[in-house]
Amino acid sequence: MDAISVIRAKRDGHPLSDGQIDWVVDAYTRGDVADEQMSALAMAILLNGMSRAEIARWTAAMIASGERMDFSPLSRPTADKHSTGGVGDKITLPLAPLVAACGAAVPQLSGRGLGHTGGTLDKLESIAGWRASLSTPEMLGILESGGAVICAAGESLAPADKKLYALRDVTGTVESIPLIASSIMSKKIAEGTGSLVLDVKVGSGAFMKNLEDARELAATMVGLGTDHGVRTVALLTDMSTPLGLTAGNALEVRESLHVLAGGGPKDVVDLTLALAREMLDAAGLPDADPAKALADGSAMDHWRRMISAQGGDPDAPLPLAREQHMIPAPASGTLTRLDAYAVGVAAWRLGAGRARKEDPVQAGAGIELHAKPGEEITEGQPLLTLHTDTPERFDYALAALTDAYDIGALTTAPPPVILDRIA
């Protein structure tokens, strides 16, 4: 086969054969298909789409480019969660130990933030001593003894996806639903989990801006999981407003600890419990009660065990930014809108995120929210507090927040956290 024939087939709207997909993914991984050729193919896929059979085969080819993990030696059933990313989305932090406290094993392979969305590994690295890189034997040992691990994926897991994702990021083809779905699911299926719950974000701070596109992506991913023998469910959740009251690495860890201690913002608690129930049901543990595990402290015990097992000190103080800037409410009334994307960009500009993968992040940087849409506020009261080690960033962050919120009379209720479920 040759790359030009494969590109022409998809350019002209024809379905790719199993043989064409297997060959082009393997050849690109080995370097026999050039970046410019794969860029052309990715653009053809973006414009002309793929059938369910094509997406399933493309996903299988990316899985086959590397190793597959095996959790069958574990005495617990495995369940995993994947979020498509958002602002203030710290759900993985309380969720993994909570589900472990209820009897499942949670092998959570996570990533770092890029742009306005935060990364789970960046958040956890604000804890002194914690490490993201684990060997497979270490991971299995922690899962067997404590039930939860959050770590970075190894280089051997779906290497085709790593290479293609970097290419899509610089060629304007990130938006392709077949390529998004196969990217996420190739890693999750190769990870070897027995069941998977997807948190597909919808709104200004999410990748999918409207419910129709989010449903299409969720249904595609649920279909891929099912086709590969992984019990998969998706929740569509709101990301028009940041989750919780913080956006930033150490700030979000601190808020997650409040949730594990039985408190925390209602939207974070509600979504954590909803995802936990879905994970436990998918893992064959429908009678487990995650709300009880939060209330009785067992989820916190599993958090401390997980952090310690990965070298972290659960009692170490979390970093604080050296400088703060408070934004007061400009008027009295109801906060009717607080835009997630604007808050995410401002947190990124304060140092909480990165523009390139190699950029450092500030552990203490980010934004505190003192009110959420639907709440009454008074002129002059704190609305947002900005945190950074480098105060010269304040003006740049404030510019992102210029049109980020509205205060007035509430005409419609804020959307619920959970918008839909696809199984």
pLDDT given at position 238: 97
Whether residue 122 is found in the same domain as residue 197:
yes
CATH code for the domain of 340: 3.90.1170.30
287-295's contacts with Cβ under 8 Å and 24+ in sequence apart are: 288/102, 288/103, 288/104, 289/102, 290/98, 290/99, 290/101, 290/102, 293/98, 293/101, 293/102, 294/94, 294/98, 294/259, 294/260, 294/262, 294/269, 295/262
Q: What is the DSSP string of 51-115?
A: -HHHHHHHHHHHHHTS-----TT-SS-B-EEEE---SS--THHHHHHHHHHTT-BEEEEE---BT
- Same domain for 281 and 329: no
Are residues 271 and 237 part of one domain?
yes
Residues in the chain: 423
Q: How many domains does the chain have?
A: 3
Position 112 scores a pLDDT of 81
Dihedral sign for Cα 210, 216, 217, 219, please: positive
327 and 305, same structural domain?
no
Query: What is the mean pLDDT of the segment spanning 3-22?
Result: 97
Q: The domain spanning residue 160 has which CATH number?
A: 3.40.1030.10
Do 253 and 331 sit in the same domain of this protein?
no
Q: Work out the pLDDT band at 195, boundaries 50, 70, 90.
A: very high
Asked if residue 124 is part of any domain, the answer here is yes
Catalytic residues: 82, 161, 168, 183, 187
Tokens for 401, please give them.
């927040």
Whether the predicted pLDDT of 219 surpasses 90: yes
User: What is the per-residue pLDDT for 332?
Assistant: 96
> In this structure, are 294 and 332 located in the same domain?
no
Residue 365 lies in a domain: yes
The pLDDT tens digits for 67-119 are 999 999 999 999 999 999 899 999 999 999 999 999 999 999 988 876 788 88
194 and 340 assigned to the same domain: no
Q: Are residues 303 and 341 in the same domain?
A: no
The pLDDT of 209-224, averaged and rounded, is 95
The dihedral built from the CA positions of residue 168, 31, 359 and 127, taken in this order, carries a sign that is positive
Range of the domain at 393: 323-408
pLDDT band, very low/low/confident/very high, at 184 (cuts 50, 70, 90) = very high
Half-sphere exposure of 269 (CA within 13 A, CB side): 15
Q: Name 188's Cβ contacts closer than 8 Å, sequence gap at least 6.
A: 80, 82, 196, 225, 230
Q: How far lies 397's CA from each of 22, 54, 116, 229, 393, in Å?
A: 46, 43, 12, 45, 6
Contacts of residue 267, defined as CB under 8 A and 6 or more positions apart, other chains included, come to 243, 244, 372, 417
Query: Helix or strand or coil: residue 316?
Result: coil
3-class SS at 150?
Answer: strand
pLDDT by residue (tens digit) across 257-299? 999 999 999 999 999 999 999 999 999 999 999 999 999 999 9
Instruction: Place 410 in a pLDDT band, splitting at 50, 70 and 90.
Output: confident
Is a pLDDT exceeding 90 seen at residue 210? yes
225 shares a domain with 87: yes
- Taking only the tens place, the pLDDT of each residue in 138-174 is 999 999 999 999 999 888 889 999 899 888 878 888 8
* Sheet containing 405-408, strands listed edge to edge, beginning at the edge strand earlier in sequence: 376-377, 333-338, 405-408
- CA–CA distance, 198 with 210 (Å, rounded to integer): 17
Q: Mapping DSSP to helix (H, G, I), strand (E, B) and coil, where does residue 269 land?
A: helix
CA 202 to CA 210: how far, in whole Å?
A: 6
- Asked if residue 68 belongs to a domain, the reply is no
* pLDDT surpassing 80 at residue 193: yes
User: Closest Cα partner for 252 from 240, 262, 265?
Assistant: 265
Judge whether 182 and 55 are in contact, CB under 8 Å: yes
Take residue 258 and report the two structure tokens written for it: 């409040």
Give the separation between CA 149 and CA 309, rounded to whole angstroms: 9
Domain presence at residue 413: no
Q: Does the pLDDT value for residue 355 go beyond 80?
A: no
Whole-angstrom CA distances from 347 to 33, 156, 289, 323 are 39, 32, 35, 14
378 with 272, same domain? no
Task: Report yes or no on 423 lying in a domain.
Answer: no
Task: Give the span between the Cα atoms of 401 and 385, in whole angstroms.
Answer: 12
Residue 43 confidence (pLDDT): 97
Query: What are 313-337's pLDDT values in tens digits?
Result: 999 999 999 999 999 999 999 999 9
**Same domain assignment for residues 132 and 175:** yes
Residue 225 lies in a domain: yes
- What pLDDT is attached to residue 356? 73
Tell me which residue of 155, 151, 250, 243 sits closest to 202, measured CA to CA.
243
User: Is the residue at 58 inside a domain?
Assistant: no
Token couple for 205: 């701070």
**Per-residue confidence band for 137, with pLDDT thresholds at 50, 70 and 90:** very high
Residue 303, pLDDT > 80, answer yes
- Please say which residue of 285, 309, 333 terminates a domain: 309
Domain-embedded: residue 185: yes
User: Are 152 and 271 part of one and the same domain?
Assistant: yes
- Cα-to-chain-centroid distance, residue 211: 18
The mean per-residue pLDDT over the stretch 225-236 comes to 94
| The last residue of a domain, from among 309, 336, 370 | 309
Domain end marker among 275, 309, 343: 309
Task: Provide the pLDDT confidence category of residue 354 given band limits of 50, 70 and 90.
Answer: confident
